[in-house]
């Protein structure tokens, strides 16, 4: 059976619980992989070029960006980060499903540049609940936390381009909803383009 991979793009405000849900999803669906990004920052201890990141100089990164090499890229704290478009499309064509954990602007770029994928935005139940979660982390000064909340409000207002909205009110319930999305999307005809032909020709389908 000629299977194609699914591109799952998940974005959420900081503190909405995205990372926890992605970890739960990867534990149950072992077939998902992650793309390797390019960055201009220096490698940290034990990071391996080509495995954790592709580490490049700024001038090389900017030249690649001009050539439309990246599906999405951004500057974060003075360093550039980008996801190569060809790596994504080749992986999907070879049947490898991918999860991309990006911010809302990255997700917008991917949708515009690749024109494919399943886009999910994860909401907190309320801004006040998000504030409480950020306070429980205890890792941000008050000014930084307020900035995160402002950014969260802006991100939520931009999320209308996504295919699904998921409110993370209770983690197990939220994961059940996320799992349901993935199971439904796995049945899309484009992921198994030769299914009808094979069954009509007398072959047996084994999932």
The pLDDT, as a whole number, for residue 77 is 76
What is the DSSP code (8-state) at residue 113? H
The pLDDT, as a whole number, for residue 45 is 86
Handedness of CA 59, 62, 68, 70 (dihedral sign): positive
> Which pLDDT tens digit goes with each residue over 155-191?
999 999 999 999 999 999 999 999 999 999 999 999 9
The pLDDT, as a whole number, for residue 203 is 87
Residues 41 and 61: their CA atoms lie apart, in Å, by 11
CB-side exposure of 77: number of CA atoms within 13 Å?
A: 3
What's the average model confidence in pLDDT over 29-42? 91
> Which pLDDT tens digit goes with each residue over 59-91?
999 999 999 999 999 988 789 999 999 999 999
Residue scoring higher pLDDT (91 or 146):
91
Residue (of 169, 75, 80, 71) closest to 113 by Cα position: 71
What pairs with residue 39 in β-bridges?
55, 81
Q: Does the pLDDT at position 1 exceed 60?
A: no
Residues 126 and 132: their CA atoms lie apart, in Å, by 10
User: What global pTM score does this model have?
Assistant: 0.88
Ordered by start, the domain boundaries in the chain are 7-34+97-200
Handedness of CA 174, 178, 181, 183 (dihedral sign): negative
Q: Does the pLDDT at position 35 exceed 60?
A: yes
Question: How would CATH label the architecture of 7-34+97-200?
Answer: 3-Layer(aba) Sandwich (3.40)
The pLDDT, as a whole number, for residue 207 is 63
The pLDDT, as a whole number, for residue 140 is 66
Average pLDDT for the chain: 92
> Which pLDDT tens digit goes with each residue over 107-142?
999 999 999 999 999 999 999 999 898 888 766 676
């Amino acid at each position: 059976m000629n299977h194609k991979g699914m591109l799952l793009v998940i974005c959420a405000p900081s503190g909405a619980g995205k990372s926890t849900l992605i970890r739960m999803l990867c534990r149950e669906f072992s077939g998902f992989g992650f793309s390797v990004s390019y960055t201009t920052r220096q490698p940290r201890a034990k990071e391996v070029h080509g495995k954790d990141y592709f580490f490049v100089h700024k001038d090389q990164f900017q030249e690649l960006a001009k050539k439309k090499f990246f599906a999405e890229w951004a500057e974060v704290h003075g360093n550039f980060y980008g996801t190569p478009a060809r790596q994504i499309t080749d992986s999907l064509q070879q049947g490898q499903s991918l999860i991309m954990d990006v911010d809302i602007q990255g997700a917008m770029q991917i949708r515009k540049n690749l024109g494919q994928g399943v886009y999910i935005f994860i909401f907190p139940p309320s801004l006040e609940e998000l504030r409480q979660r950020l306070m429980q982390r205890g890792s941000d000064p008050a000014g930084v936390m307020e900035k995160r909340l402002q950014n969260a409000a802006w991100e939520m207002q931009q999320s209308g381009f996504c295919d699904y909205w998921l409110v993370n009110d209770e983690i197990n319930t939220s994961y059940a909803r996320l799992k349901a999305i993935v199971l439904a999307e796995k049945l899309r005809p484009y992921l198994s383009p030769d299914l009808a032909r094979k069954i009509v020709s007398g072959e047996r389908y084994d999932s």
